Structure 1
């Protein structure tokens, strides 16, 4: 009951992190019917392209044992050499067909998902050996669905085999009387017809089963709203903590900015809503912004400037433009060179006359 309740609460699509974690654990969408389809295709390719050459190779390799059976020593070390020689020759003949079947098996898995190397499925778990858990799995809805799919697949494949072989029933009855070469060739042709027909049916079965397994896996990965929130906290951090950290950083930045105001050359104001403190020294390419702010911060900048006898110049258009264009420690842009130069030049002239009051 609790599992059904949990599943009902899983209304949110899985996050990318949830999907990545599932992949690391080897939990991926996989249809056994797709793997079976590729295995069947590999068998068809082996029979169609490699069976004749493999049969000829086996014929040549084993014929000598039958023809010269009485001359082959099988005592002592000779028996070991015989097995080694036979095994080597058989491996060389069957290597290519086996490699093709292995490749098709890998393709059948890789086409559904990337290769996954995970030991998670190999870890011992109590529920795997629990009789109660095994009983529940045996009579679960998933087991019943798989049982029904198996019956349908057996019925369909059996029907296809009967439909292919029935027109050849007379030929099959007389095959035993044919020469070996003719018998093998006719058998090969019948097997290829069977595989082609089964592949045609299995294509539909594999496609439907893959869609079913993919949808079932995706539903399994869905999350509750609480899980989404917990994951967000783990990956992005608690919003309250992040807000507190952001506030502390802003306070530190503001303190550093206010500490730079006494070293400014001039403060350009709105006069009440904006304040931008500029610093210029001999050798600088252009003045730089050491502090800026609006409203209460602007008021604080003006107070610190006056307390430290830093000139405060009211120029509303320039103050608004500099506040919008500049960040802290950024140089004044070229389009504002002239206006800023006039302000700084005015400050220098007033200082030379000794008439400036901060």
Structure 2
């Protein structure tokens, strides 16, 4: 039966903790991609001139046989030196990628468990055409389309320079290439930043929806935690909200609403089959305003009587008015019926 209940309740701290232990955290791959590109832009901005000068030096050294007369040996030595410089980029990108992943969902190591269901070809086909897979396909198509358009616009602007690179001096060629790379990475970073923000917001929403609880789950968790104060408070709050909703649904059936006139409102119901008028809704402040709003919408009379309102608001919801208030309420009802 619990399976058919609607999940309308926000997850409790315990539910969130269990979800995190199971590896269920809001995490977007686009945020990781964005952090890698931004780290590259940052390094190019801070150390770009140094890096390109070093690569320029390696290229000049390779062409001037600085690394040896044997071509393969020279290439190997130049490659090793070049990788030692490039490794700085790689390590920084890895640090940014790891940091963005931890920032999104924290760091935890989940024990490996063999899931044979993933080897089921039928299940694989279902996952391939699932709602999540379709959403990922749309996201990927959007990213590649817009990303490709941005790259096209950049290259369209720089396309006339590319054939000239081969005729430039080595130093000028490297400098111009670095400008094009920096330009492309900067626009790419801005695009990925916007994609990452939207993607993370979507993942966060999907996560919150996936861990929502039914009312029954909330009650069972309360039992398991032996009356945890936070959960007790949450359940009481839920019960109050339900009671308030039921109370507001009764207002359209009221005979009259008594006010003081601004801070208190009490809805009374009376017919010939009742021995006395009944309090079907009451409240102060915002709730009082809501009662009056519903009463106006349904054409229910609203009567101002400060003393009577103060006396009625003390009564329990669903109770009949006491004898000492009969005369005051009867006067109002008599006036309405005449």
With the length of structure 1 as denominator, give the TM-score of the two structures: 0.56
Q: Which among 187, 205, 215 is matched to residue 205 of structure 2?
A: 215
Contact 1:58/1:90 (<8 A) preserved:
yes
Deviations 1:216-260 (A, max 9, x none): 01100011222212211111169xxxxxxxxxxxxxxxxxxxxxx
| 2:21 match | 24
In the alignment, structure 1 segments of 5+ residues that lack a partner are: 75-81, 239-358
Contact 1:25/1:118 (<8 A) preserved:
no
In the alignment, structure 2 segments of 5+ residues that lack a partner are: 229-338
> Which secondary structure does the structure 1 equivalent of 2:160 belong to?
helix
| 1:136 match | 126
Contact 1:50/1:97 (<8 A) preserved:
no
Offset at residue 173 of structure 1 (A): 2.6
Q: Does 1:198 align with 2:188?
A: yes
| 1:126 match | 116
| 1:147 match | 137
For the residues of structure 2 that align with 1:59 and 1:165, how far apart are their CA atoms? 23
Equivalences for 1:1-358 in 2 at 5 Å?
A: 6=3, 9-57=6-54, 63=61, 66-67=65-66, 69-70=68-69, 89=81, 92-114=84-106, 116-120=107-111, 122-236=112-226
Offset at residue 203 of structure 1 (A): 2.0
How many residue pairs align between the two structures? 226
Deviations 1:135-165 (A, max 9, x none): 1111101000100111111111111112222
For the residues of structure 2 that align with 1:190 and 1:179, how far apart are their CA atoms? 17
Q: Cα distance 1:171–1:216, how it changes in 2: closer, same or farther (>3 A)? A: same
Deviations 1:303-356 (A, max 9, x none): xxxxxxxxxxxxxxxxxxxxxxxxxxxxxxxxxxxxxxxxxxxxxxxxxxxxxx
Offset at residue 72 of structure 1 (A): 9.6
Offset at residue 45 of structure 1 (A): 2.3
Contact 1:157/1:198 (<8 A) preserved:
yes
For the residues of structure 1 that align with 2:4 and 2:22, how far apart are their CA atoms? 20
For the residues of structure 1 that align with 2:207 and 2:199, how far apart are their CA atoms? 12
Offset at residue 6 of structure 1 (A): 3.7
| 2:266 match | none
| 1:287 match | none
For the residues of structure 2 that align with 1:7 and 1:194, how far apart are their CA atoms? 51
> Which secondary structure does the structure 1 equivalent of 2:16 belong to?
helix
Q: Cα distance 1:153–1:179, how it changes in 2: closer, same or farther (>3 A)? A: same
Q: Cα distance 1:201–1:91, how it changes in 2: closer, same or farther (>3 A)? A: closer
